[in-house]
Amino acid sequence: MWQHNGQPYGKGILSCDCWKNTTIIFRHCMEKDNTKAGPSVFLSMESGSEEPPSIPHKHTNRLAKQKSPYLLQHAHNPVDWYPWGQDAFDKAKNEDKPIFLSVGYSTCHWCHVMERESFEDEEIGKLLSDNFVCIKVDREERPDVDKVYMNFVQATSGGGGWPMSVWLTPDLKPFIGGTYFPPRDQGRRPGLMTVLTRIIEQVKQFLFVNFLTTLKKGTAIAANPGEAPPLATDVANRCFQQLANSYEEEYGGFRDAPKFPTPVNLMFLMSYWCVNHSTSEGVEALQMALHTLRMMALGGIHDHVAQGFHRYSTDSSWHVPHFEKMLYDQAQLAVAYITASQFGQSDAEDADSVPALGETEQREGAFCIWTASEIRELLPDVVEGATGVTTQADIFMHHYGVKDQGNVAPEQDPHGELQGQNVLIVRYSVELTAARFGIGVEKVSELMASARAKMAEVRKGRPRPHLDTKMVASWNGLMLSAYARVGAVLGDKAFLERAVQAGSFLKEYLWDAERQTILRSCYHGDKMEVQQISPPISGFLDDYAFIICGLLDLYEATLQTEWLQWAEELQLRQDMMFWDDQGGGYFCSDPSDSTVLLQLKEDQDGAEPSANSVSASNLLRLSHYTGRQEWHQRSQQLLAAFSDRLTRIPIALPEMVRALMAQHYMLKQIVICGQKDAPDTAGLLAAVNSLFLPHKVLMLVDGETDSFLCQRLPVLSSMSQHGGVAAAYVCQYFTCSLPVTDPQELRKILLDGSMGTQTE
């Protein structure tokens, strides 16, 4: 840091994070491109109001040429903004000016507040433009830049969030950082004007201390020479105990408010049960996962009208959500709910509990709340056969906890934005509601479905929110997995077609075949055509890892080897671009990019899984599909690099613990020999897909000896149908079962692992 009078200058000016008081929503859509066949898969983001009529702009800066909706929101500030790039860096060096770096995203509430208060202010705009090189970054486009400087802000303040405001030297080293600043002083909080003025006056007096050296040491992750991964059973047991200690028994979930869905935790718990189902810990793990999923589905965090789940709940009972929906949440929760259905839990199979993949309506807070009078006006019909004079509104309001005075407690609404409003939450089972009004269960279900459909129509008449048309590769990779997994379990051709369309879209628009590079994002133009910026942003580790995982899931769902081939190709590129030859594991971004000062390895499975966690599983799965033993070894090296974290706090990496467990228990290779579309083959595949098998790979052998799989795994050529009927072989620990032709027998083998084996 630069210092003034021997003291760090940045302390004391760091402020609150950006999530407070936010009423913004992310949405995901899959729509047809107007110009080409195939889907356009994208993330839409809403900020809650229609765009104002077009008016002449007093100011226009170079951000007007960008495609990012977040950058475009600042294109008419009286600030001389630059996008992140060489032009800005050169200007800073040539003019010997410090850099003001502002990082946010399109639907960040406090980002909008700071833009309105400060970046639209003429006086502040002039002060910034005259004395700094001002750079604006969309954190969803450049997560690498965001992570480096967020590490600095957190290290120097103990907190962070967005908007992130960081001042850099001309060679990009940070010396002061913060988050939101009011335009002018507010009590003890210095305003942006004050901060800027002090930096301008005193910048020449600062002594530069290279804080990056300390950051590099604090964020280093590497394996010691010859180090092996930690013992999987010990790590998994510790992860379970840590989750159990933080589990909230009444409503499920982990810790108190705010309460997040954390799909990575739920998937670990269900995987833990699979290898501990005969123990009390295994049973407890499964119940923790299922109860959490059930309570979320009943709660207000679940959008009962338009489906999908909001980002998190502001209370412990999942009632009042933070009104935003993230594509990566929908993707992971879809997988979690469909996995729960494989345990035969009917209450977890309710279609309303599964996020609506491809939902096209756009929502945010104002769209999701209702007054009692609105509902009475919308649902006035008297219900025949019900006790007394009962309307559809009466039954709906009882079932979903709607009250005349609103159902949001004052402590859940500190800013008074939800007074008199209701957030729908299921208060009674369908059976209890039916008994309360003296009607049948089917009748209640019909009435609730009808009411929700009417309410969805009402929403269409509400003002359209802002739409962010940026399409992020990694999040669409997660959604690809969701379509594939849900389609395979349900045997739903529509979902499988969506999955194939999503894979095709990624390959057409987010894969640069000439440079052999994944692209981070693409954009929709005014006519919904797919557009790209020039030069495009190259993909990061999570883009590769999540897409590879999606492609492996897509292969297992469709058994089309083209997706397996592309997954192999992408893994080779990922290894070349991101692998750390010295310490093991993958860097988050390309280490050859000199403008990114820290090479980080993400060490936490949070709202999204760590790309290293996903890669550990990808490598293991691919080693079984391709016969490349070096990928099995690389997966072990990766896990060894994270040994310290896995041993001490495995709760931070539950997805990586799943990969460690897969290494330990070894993957079953389930080989189906038959014609892909034949009924006997379909029966065996349905048996496999009916079960949650976290430690397996599935492959089809159709008799073509020159196929992709047979070329890489010659042993497959010796496997064939049995008596002219499709047959399954279950292989593990270098032995295979005798051929199985009956789906129920296959299901039994997979459930209990009691294989009658023969040596390969």
- Read off the DSSP letter of residue 715: G
Please report the pLDDT score of residue 439 as a whole number.
Answer: 97
Residue 206 pLDDT: 60
**What is the predicted pLDDT for the residue at 17?**
26
Type of residue found at 602: E
Percentages (nearest 5) of helix, strand, coil residues in the chain: 45, 15, 40
pLDDT at 368: 85
Two tokens, residue 530: 């797919």
Identical fold between 63-219 and 668-759? yes
Report domain extents, the chain.
Answer: 63-219, 232-342, 372-461, 466-663, 668-759
Quote the CA–CA distance of 229 and 663 in Å, as a whole number.
10
Interatomic CA distance for residues 590 and 218, integer angstroms: 20
Instruction: Give the strands of the sheet with 727-732, arranged side by side.
Output: 696-701, 668-673, 727-732, 735-737, 757-759
How far lies 273's CA from each of 110, 296, 443, 694, in Å? Answer: 42, 21, 37, 10
Q: Which of 641, 476, 598, 497 is nearest to 557 (CA)?
A: 497
Please report the pLDDT score of residue 225 as a whole number: 86
Do 272 and 677 contact (CB within 8 A), yes or no? no
137 to 25, 64, 214, 536: CA distances (angstroms): 20, 14, 25, 15
pTM: 0.89
Nearest to 62 by CA among 167, 144, 133: 133
Q: What CATH architecture applies to the domain 466-663?
A: Alpha/alpha barrel (1.50)
According to CATH, the topology of domain 668-759 is Glutaredoxin (3.40.30)
* 2.60.40.10, 3.40.30.10, 3.30.1490.20, 1.10.3720.10: CATH of 63-219: 3.40.30.10
Averages of pLDDT over runs of 10 residues in the chain (760 residues) are 30 27 26 33 40 74 96 97 98 97 91 96 98 97 96 90 96 94 93 96 69 82 92 98 97 92 98 96 98 97 93 94 89 98 62 35 62 97 95 98 96 87 96 97 97 94 72 97 98 97 98 97 91 95 98 98 98 98 96 94 96 98 97 98 97 98 96 96 98 97 89 93 95 90 96 49
